[in-house]
Amino acid sequence: MFRDVADMDYISARTLYKNECFDEFLIFSQQAIEKYLKGILMFNRVKSRKMTHKLSVLLQKCSNDVAHFKISEQTRKFIKEIDGYDDLRYAKYMFGAFMAQRSHLVELDRAVMELRRYCHNDTPYAVALSKATDDQLIEITRKKGISFLYLLEKIVKNKNGKYSKLRSNLIWKNLYFSPRTKSISLTDGVWGKASGFSKKELAEMYDVIKEYIFIPKDVKDCFEKLR
């Protein structure tokens, strides 16, 4: 349940990035990672009944309670960067100035590759994959998939038919889930947009909007600092 929905969120994030919808790309990246982490906890029978959307909390629980769980520092850093993008969606609506680094696409792909090896019930296989080198993990991902033939693997293998459009967005410039991509040029620079509003204008907008919609405390604090 979590894994398959996360797979669709992941492809949605890549589709948005491809079409230069960078704010939305970051939000769907956060959504995908959240569901993968929750899926890992469920597959490993770790109780996590307290509702949370914080990636840092879920990641720490995986690290503490899943004995064979191991991800790279690169992926941990990426998860930390996108943590909270769901909570800050109101700020993005007003600022319109949040940006995605070009490298974020590569980092999302790598994070999904690393996390999905724990998204199944075969613990011995997950333990074996946790010991794989980067090159071995990439090779396994490209050749046969790391979660057996689940949704993402089916989409990669289905060149024609109902998954063809999903497949084109999944394998586009994908170092890990594409059978042919060897290198891409998305590692430097920033893509994004600016709102064009001054700090004073944003503060004035916030004073009006806060009377009509719920705004989380951390977003309130963000706008209060504009004064």
What is the C-alpha separation between 153 and 217, in angstroms, rounded? 40
100 has which bridge partners?
A: 191
pLDDT tens for 50-72 read 767 788 899 999 999 988 888 99
Q: How confident is the model at residue 181 (pLDDT cuts 50, 70, 90)?
A: low
Question: What pLDDT, on the 0 to 100 scale, is given for residue 182?
Answer: 60
Q: How far is CA 165 from the centre of its chain?
A: 20
Looking at this protein, which amino acid is placed at residue 212? Y
CB 129 within 8 A of CB 138: no
Question: What pLDDT, on the 0 to 100 scale, is given for residue 12?
Answer: 96
Instruction: Write 55-59 long-range contacts (CB < 8 A, 24+).
Output: 55/30, 55/79, 55/80, 55/82, 55/83, 55/84, 56/80, 56/83, 58/34
Average pLDDT in the 69-94 region? 76
Average pLDDT in the 175-182 region? 74
Q: How many CA atoms, within 13 angstroms, populate the side-chain half-sphere of residue 165?
A: 4
What is the C-alpha separation between 105 and 25, in angstroms, rounded? 9
Q: What is the pTM of this model?
A: 0.78
Q: How confident is the model at residue 100 (pLDDT cuts 50, 70, 90)?
A: low
